[in-house]
Amino acid sequence: MLNCIEDNEAKIIGVVDSYLTYSHEVHGECFYRFGIKAERLSSTADIIIVTVSEHLLSQIQIEPGDKIAVFGQFRSYNNYTEGGIKLILTLFAKEIRVADDEECPENEVYLNGFVCKPVVYRVTPFGREIADILLAVNRAYNKSDYIPCIAWGRNARFAKSFVVGQNVKLWGRMQSRDYQKKLSETEVVTKTAYEVSVCKLDITKCDE
């Protein structure tokens, strides 16, 4: 698992899935994006969007099909479009390197944040327990990342008692999930949601 030195740590080892595209510029430095595919044990895969600075790109060449390791933070930002505001999640790269052929795919994230809306707990028709958690994770310069997280089974039962403002630590993996959105009676589009699939939860006591 991750060392958890910061409140937001993420690591992924996988295969570059798309070409670099321009994202934005901050203080004169350009940032780019690409997709990275990490295989799950179930033989399916998550494709996570990585944001990387031109400074890091000066140290490594990235092409589709390359196997790389990325270390950074799972961040969020609002994308304003004509259709409204959409929460975008991306792995912000702080370190990137070529991965060895023998390295297995990895996908880990650790978050230490605060519940910022009531937890949604539900049970599927097949009896599977699920809890949706929106976690606010503080960042430098008075910014916060708002990360949707999904817990299952025992973790879901634990999470349903969380209250808004509660300090929660969680470990899991960054997840991409396709879903269909109905635009009209005849038109349906496939979209991709990004979230953290939780494998471990902990709460911080008031006296800690």
Q: Quote the tokens at residue 74.
A: 């799972």
Of 105, 128, 156, the residue at which a domain comes to its end is 105
Number of structural domains found in the chain? 2
| pLDDT value for 48 | 96
**Do 75 and 128 fall into the same domain?**
no
Helix and strand tally (H, E) in the chain? 2, 12
Q: Is 119 left (phi over 0), alpha (psi -120 to 50) or beta?
A: beta
Of 69, 85, 105, the residue at which a domain comes to its end is 105
Q: Tokens 């605060």 map to which residue?
A: 114
Whether pTM > 0.85 for this model: the answer is yes
| pLDDT value for 40 | 87
CA separation for the pair 141, 92 (Å, rounded): 16
Reduce the DSSP state of residue 18 to 3 states and report it. Answer: coil
**Do 125 and 39 fall into the same domain?**
no
| pLDDT value for 3 | 63
In a domain, 1, yes or no: no
Q: Which domain holds residue 58?
A: 8-105
Asked if 196 and 170 touch (Cβ cutoff 8 Å), the reply is: yes
**Do 116 and 96 fall into the same domain?**
no
| pLDDT value for 180 | 82
In a domain, 82, yes or no: yes
Among 124, 142, 130, CA closest to 195: 130
In a domain, 2, yes or no: no
**Do 13 and 97 fall into the same domain?**
yes
**Do 12 and 100 fall into the same domain?**
yes
**Do 157 and 180 fall into the same domain?**
yes
Of 105, 129, 144, the residue at which a domain comes to its end is 105
**Do 52 and 32 fall into the same domain?**
yes
**Do 35 and 118 fall into the same domain?**
no
CATH, residue 74: 2.40.50.140
| pLDDT value for 4 | 63
The parts of the chain modelled with pLDDT lower than 70 are 1-5, 80-84, 205-208
**Do 100 and 128 fall into the same domain?**
no
| pLDDT value for 1 | 62
Amino acid in the structure at residue 48: I
